[in-house]
A and B are shown apart, each in its own frame.
Chain A
Amino acid sequence: KNQVEQSPQSLIILEGKNCTLQCNYTVSPFSNLRWYKQDTGRGPVSLTIMTFSENTKSNGRYTATLDADTKQSSLHITASQLSDSASYICVVRVMDSSYKLIFGSGTRLLVRP
């Protein structure tokens, strides 16, 4: 069964600190992996998209990594800001005729001053 699991479910860090969010997937065949940021009460916004051959991709203070062998991805946030408080969703696209997206349930991050 195609699944995307994220950990931790929630995380609290102090402003200025770094953090890493984890994503494990059992999706086959794999097409690409995406990270989205979802502010409270808003829709998800794309942060990164990584294909099978990409190990790392950055978007400002956000750096995503992908290990296609172990089927793991991480999202590293550097020098966190209060505006980073949001849910972060890992999404994997299936490489078949459906092009289906499998969504994780997200990690809720709270950055405190």
Chain B
Amino acid sequence: NAGVTQTPKFQVLKTGQSMTLQCAQDMNHNSMYWYRQDPGMGLRLIYYSASEGTTDKGEVPNGYNVSRLNKREFSLRLESAAPSQTSVYFCASSDRDRVPGNTIYFGEGSWLTVV
């Protein structure tokens, strides 16, 4: 049981390049999320998906797109990377989105540097 798996772990991009961060969960969760974590700041929600086939913008969606490929997989795409997108990205999932006490499980993170 791997939980939430993200790839790649580390990536260096040049400004303007595109890339996709992959995320998969094996807990049969309906809800999945993408967060970014910057130094001195709390995690901020980029996009989330309450169920297969649905996606919604979070707090900082600009410059990103997402795809909920199926119930297991939720990918995050940077179409034209900018230095401001240098960050650590976390994928997460939960079994119940609209339940106050739900437990959210995080992946190990993806370190992205845009030069």
List chain A positions with a Cβ less than 8 A from chain B. Answer: 4, 31-32, 41-46, 49, 51, 89, 91, 93, 95, 99-106
Q: B interface, by DSSP: helix, strand, loop or mixed?
A: loop
Scan B3-39; emit 1 where CB is below 8 A from any A CB, else 0: 0100000000000000000000000000000000000
Say whether, besides A44-B106, A45-B106, A105 and B40 are in contact (CB < 8 Å): yes
What residue in chain B is nearest A87 (Cβ atoms)? B37
* 22 chain-A/chain-B pairs, Cβ below 8 angstroms: A4-B42, A32-B101, A41-B109, A42-B109, A43-B4, A43-B106, A44-B90, A46-B103, A46-B104, A51-B100, A89-B42, A91-B42, A99-B97, A99-B98, A99-B100, A101-B43, A101-B45, A101-B104, A103-B42, A103-B43, A105-B40, A105-B42
Cβ–Cβ < 8 Å partners of A31 in chain B: 100
Contact, CB under 8 Å: B103 / A49: yes
Instruction: Tally A-B pairs: CB < 8 A.
Output: 48
Interface size class of B (residues with CB under 8 A): 20 to 34
Cβ–Cβ < 8 Å partners of B103 in chain A: 46, 49
